[in-house]
Structure 1
Amino acid sequence: MNFKIILRLMFLLLTSFSVAEAQDNKLKKATDLMGHRFLTFNTVIRVNQIEVSRNRNLGEDERALHTPARVIAFRNSLAEGFPGGKMTWSFSWLALNDTTSDYRKIRNLVVGYHYKYGDDVTFIPGAYFANAYNTTKQVNKDVHDALKIISRMVGNGYRPLSIVAGFMSAANQQYLAEKEGIHVCQGNIWSQFSIDNQDGDGAVVYPFYPSKEHFCKPSQNKKDFIDCVNLDGWSVDFLAGRREGFKDGFNSRMGVGPIETLGKYGNETGLKEMMHTTAIHFDKGFALNGFGWVTNCWELSLPYDPVSLKNWLKAIRKRWPDTKLITQGEFGLLWRKHYKSNSFNYRFVERGSGIGGSDANNEIRWFMNKDFRLALLKDWKNNTSEKVIDFTRYDLKAHEPKGMTRKWSLLGVINQKQSRPQDKPILIDSLSAGARAIIAARYKYLIK
């Protein structure tokens, strides 16, 4: 063989290895948690508004709102707004089992999206509020049986990477991890209190491993550790989120969700608030935490033009072009790969948007770690003193309700919702000596 040809082949071979190695390194780098901005997006497909159990419903029948045409328009909007992005589809028990033509077609469409886009297909027990209406044992059975249905439906040995739950008790998350082998659960709706059908304030807003004592409490050690990454339901504006339900005429759930933004304020102002909430995490939050995460749930039945979804996604890509839209299961597993325990130290700073309950004159700072969460609020325009509006200790014993109830919150020394007399905001120096010592161990600069 010609010597020049041999040299050329060797060069091409070495080059191909170099390119392959570079691609592998790029892939590894792209799948690291730190240094990246992540967006997760899921939807809920159900038959009734609130399917509290397999055979009991509350609210309206939503069959007419769930059509193949709506599914197609919805997924096309995501594909056009964020090419290459992936999402999570969650089916209720009835939506998995409904035999009418529309629901059969919807299930086939979503399975096709899994193979076309890499979307995750999963289950939502109880349509958000499973533990308010079902025993722990029943929730486990619903999850087990639904996962079998989904595996058959998708085929090829498929198992979802996560569960969508709204709220899910510690015992159910432990079952999910240990018996079903699923290690990511959208298991808390951060700051939810006095709104919808279940309360669950008191958790950490970014991912954490829950304690066996309470799903809102981060695990403290190996003894109470649950190997299930607990995710928030949708990102909210911190200033709006400190309110109790609809107090003062505002919606405490306002953030990136369409109901509280597009539905309340219209497309232009609604998008402005959605982008404001996104920026909390992708600008200052990214700088403070080393990564940023925004999550959203947009129920398929909501009466909003999917074009609004496309506009939000396009705006995100334009402002933060490095953003990665992946399934919530993929994101949770990235977090799990990076954090082997609750060694996180999350910090956030927000000045209000001036929309709804996001007061333009206020600044809020949040500090969250496995020992406690702390929120400080001040009027930055009038230069008022910063006060503690939430101090929730996680090093103390916690208990979940024993029966079925809406009250699943973990309320600390001071809670942001101000639903109790003890929740009146105070100066940080007015906290007990023990509380100040715990804070100083983490953030010495906060204590004089």
Structure 2
Amino acid sequence: MKERFLTINCIVRKHQIEKTRTDFEGDDETELHDTGSVERLAKIIRDGFPEARITWALSWCALIDASDRYRRIRALLGEYMKVHGDDVTFIPGGYFANRYNTREQVNRDVSDAFRIIEHEFGHKPRSLVAGFLSAANIKHAREQEGVIGVQGNIWSQFSVDNMDGDGSICYPYYPSTQHFCKPAQGKADFIDCLNFDGWTVDFHQARLVGCRSARKNSRMGVGPIETLKNLGRAKGLAEMQATTTAHYEASHDHNPFTWITNNIEVALVKQVPAIDDITSWLSWMRERWPDVQCPALADLAGKIRSRFPDNGGLAYELHQAGSGIGVSRRGVEITWHMNQRFRLGIERGRHGGPKVFDYTRYDRDYAEPTGVGQRNWSLMGEINQKRTRKQDKPVKPGQLAGWQSIQVEIERV
């Protein structure tokens, strides 16, 4: 395979966080949404990547709003489907559906939204954009609605916005029925639907907790808020390029494919002055790696599924050198090994030699929260990169229990 992929999901909504069908949090973003903003965002993307196939995800309110404003937006997206091969799907709960709804209600929201999309757009979605989504809801989307790919985890997010969910691997995997962050271990816990990250982030910044400042932000990577808005044009673009290079260049030879992804809210067109530099990022990407493909999320899911029917062959080795931006120090390199059995993060380049800063086994039993209202859905292993527990202090590889057998597992996969 050895291909390079990019996915771009654009979010159309009425409220910043639509917790339920009728309860909202944050700003009313109606005035930030019109056909002009949608057209501008599509142009920004396709000026840099003409063949891009965008996945447009509409919130519940954006789907049912009968005003001219939203009817025209939906009509425009229908045209993009015909002309560019774009896709249209649903986003439940403003990225955090399970924080505010029972699993049964989320299932109803997904199924009802899909009926609306089928009626208005004449097609049934095969993907779902969700931020975080519980295993039970991913299973429902697959078995009842035919979804083959869900953007259902936000890799490394912790103490940011309204929900936490660190603990997964950052490339596509088939989730376990036990926990959406856990790759399925076999037929007994297998959900036949790929789970995708929402934003590619810088591995160095991702070790932080929360967003302390523009410089110390755990979500920094390719997202326009943390880069172009918070850092400005030059430094923001440099951070986007450094994160992209880590995958398409430093990690490319070690993986069956490499992948960058970005969720971009339409509201940002009027909120981020440097939003046009997404074009610069994409143009630079295309010039440096002409083979990059930008399929819709569902199409990428189909392509991966055709080669990898389960997690057995999905073993990833990812590298990122320090960029000098934010907390990313030049001369320091992070390596991640991520596979069906575990994820392992190693830092090299500081005094004292290599250190293991994350070790999370997946061949253990885990459980998601059961009730509504719980913020933290993280899957915490033996050592977690966020260092929120005493046991999370990085250790030398030889001090990690079972290190020799871990090395054997890495070589085997």
* Band of TM-score, shorter chain: over 0.9
Please give the residue correspondences for 1:55-70 in structure 2 after superposition, counting only pairs within 5 Å: 55-70=22-37
Contact 2:126 / 2:146 at 8 angstroms: preserved in 1?
no
Contact 1:261 / 1:274 at 8 angstroms: preserved in 2?
yes
Alpha-carbon displacement from aligned partner over 1:37-74 (angstroms, at most 9, x marks no partner): 11100111110110000010011100011111111111
Choose from 267, 273, 276 the match for 1:301.
267
Contact 2:228 / 2:275 at 8 angstroms: preserved in 1?
no
Number of positions where the alignment pairs a residue of Structure 1 with one of Structure 2: 406
Residue 225 of structure 1 corresponds to which residue in structure 2? 190
**Aligned-partner residue type, residue 443 of structure 1:** I
Q: Distance in 1 between matches of 2:411 and 2:279?
A: 44
Q: Distance in 2 between matches of 1:232 and 1:314?
A: 23
Choose from 161, 168, 183 the match for 2:126.
161
**Aligned-partner residue type, residue 336 of structure 2:** W
Residue 425 of structure 1 corresponds to which residue in structure 2? 394
Please give the residue correspondences for 1:404-423 in structure 2 after superposition, counting only pairs within 5 Å: 404=372, 405-423=374-392
Contact 2:89 / 2:117 at 8 angstroms: preserved in 1?
yes
Question: CA offset at residue 436 of structure 1?
Answer: 2.2
Residue 3 of structure 1 corresponds to which residue in structure 2? none
SS at match of 1:293: strand
Question: CA offset at residue 116 of structure 1?
Answer: 0.6
Q: Distance in 2 between matches of 1:385 and 1:78?
A: 42
Q: Distance in 1 between matches of 2:82 and 2:222?
A: 28
Contact 1:214 / 1:399 at 8 angstroms: preserved in 2?
yes
Residue 150 of structure 2 corresponds to which residue in structure 1? 185
Contact 1:218 / 1:394 at 8 angstroms: preserved in 2?
yes
1:90 aligns with 2:57: yes
Choose from 96, 115, 135 the match for 1:129.
96
Residue 285 of structure 1 corresponds to which residue in structure 2? 251
The gaps in structure 2 that reach 5 residues or longer are: none
Residue 236 of structure 2 corresponds to which residue in structure 1? 270
Q: Distance in 2 between matches of 1:262 and 1:314?
A: 16
Question: CA offset at residue 356 of structure 1?
Answer: 1.0
Residue 352 of structure 2 corresponds to which residue in structure 1? 384
Residue 256 of structure 1 corresponds to which residue in structure 2? 222
**Aligned-partner residue type, residue 171 of structure 2:** Y
SS at match of 1:138: helix
* Alignment CA distance shift 1:436-1:247 (3 Å): farther
Question: CA offset at residue 233 of structure 1?
Answer: 0.4
Contact 1:252 / 1:357 at 8 angstroms: preserved in 2?
no
SS at match of 2:152: strand
Q: Structure 1: which 4+ aligned runs deviate by more than 3 Å? A: none
Q: Distance in 1 between matches of 2:3 and 2:400?
A: 36
1:242 aligns with 2:212: no
SS at match of 1:115: helix
Residue 291 of structure 2 corresponds to which residue in structure 1? 322
Larger radius of gyration: 1
Question: CA offset at residue 171 of structure 1?
Answer: 0.3
Contact 1:285 / 1:291 at 8 angstroms: preserved in 2?
no
Identity of aligned residues (%): 47
TM-score (norm 1): 0.88
Question: CA offset at residue 372 of structure 1?
Answer: 0.5
1:352 aligns with 2:319: no
The gaps in structure 1 that reach 5 residues or longer are: 1-33
Segment drifting more, 266-275 vs 219-228: 266-275
Contact 2:201 / 2:222 at 8 angstroms: preserved in 1?
yes
Residue 403 of structure 1 corresponds to which residue in structure 2? 371
Q: Distance in 2 between matches of 1:50 and 1:247?
A: 22
Q: Distance in 2 between matches of 1:161 and 1:245?
A: 32
Residue 368 of structure 1 corresponds to which residue in structure 2? 338
Question: CA offset at residue 362 of structure 1?
Answer: 1.9
1:341 aligns with 2:307: no
Q: Distance in 1 between matches of 2:226 and 2:255?
A: 27
Q: Distance in 2 between matches of 1:354 and 1:108?
A: 44
Residue 213 of structure 1 corresponds to which residue in structure 2? 178
Q: Distance in 1 between matches of 2:9 and 2:309?
A: 26
TM-score (norm 2): 0.96
Question: CA offset at residue 137 of structure 1?
Answer: 0.1
Q: Distance in 2 between matches of 1:193 and 1:175?
A: 26
Residue 174 of structure 1 corresponds to which residue in structure 2? 139
Q: Distance in 2 between matches of 1:306 and 1:374?
A: 35
**Aligned-partner residue type, residue 388 of structure 1:** V
